[in-house]
Amino acid sequence: MPTFTRTMGLRGLLKENRERILNNWFEAIINTYPEETVKFLKNTKDKFHNPVGQTIKEGIEGILNELIGEGETDKITPFLDRIIRVRAIQDFTPSEAVAFIFKLKEIVRAELNSQALQNEELRWFDNKIDELALKTFDIYMSCREKIYELRATELRNWTYKLLERANLLAEGEDNFKIK
């Protein structure tokens, strides 16, 4: 357990315990995957063989570094985006996809003696995580909308080509007028 001094504050404690927090947060995130995937994500260190693990690691590092700094949402958003893009195409429900951000609250409280922290610091931290969760959900929904748009376009193109091959389209028409 870290030693707390009144001058250290939350950001100082986060900085001092950064590596443990990151390791625990990474563990919590990858444990949301199936067992075989967890083994792969834990044991494959090469970023080219394990781009999902690398994306998660880089993303959470960036998020925590920004929280230790000024905690500006605009600076944190690109890190959230990288992680959530991966989770948006996987078999996660929306709540499962964004839940990783809330894990940070639990991990920080477990790592840092939360009684030693001032209430206003914890309120700031909780509010920041809640704000990031809402931003994460927005990013998730945007990614899902894009996926659905791509699928609809692909289906439309596939249908058009199928009708064209079957010679069921009116001559020179590009808007699905069937003969």
**How many other CB atoms are there within 10 angstroms of residue 54's CB atom?**
17
Taking the C-alpha atoms of residue 30 and residue 53, their distance in angstroms, rounded to an integer, is 8
Instruction: Return the closest-CA partner of residue 144 out of 88, 98, 90, 83.
Output: 88
Taking CA atoms, 144 is separated from 76, 84, 105, 132, in Å, by 20, 10, 26, 18
Taking CA atoms, 120 is separated from 9, 37, 65, 90, 98, in Å, by 11, 39, 20, 37, 25
Residue 115 predicted with pLDDT over 60: no
C-alpha 25, offset from chain centre = 12
Q: State pLDDT tens for residues 4-55.
A: 344 468 888 889 999 999 999 999 999 999 999 888 988 888 888 899 999 9
| Domain range 9-149, CATH class | mainly alpha
Q: Which two tokens stand for residue 102?
A: 């809330």
Q: State pLDDT tens for residues 60-111.
A: 999 999 998 876 778 899 999 999 999 998 888 999 999 999 999 999 988 8
Taking the C-alpha atoms of residue 68 and residue 134, their distance in angstroms, rounded to an integer, is 20
Residue 3 predicted with pLDDT over 70: no
User: Which residue has 């991966």 as its token pair?
Assistant: 86
**Which amino acid is it at 3?**
T
CB within 8 Å of 64: residues ≥ 6 apart: 14, 18, 21, 22, 25, 104
Domain ranges of the chain: 9-149
**Which amino acid is it at 66?**
E
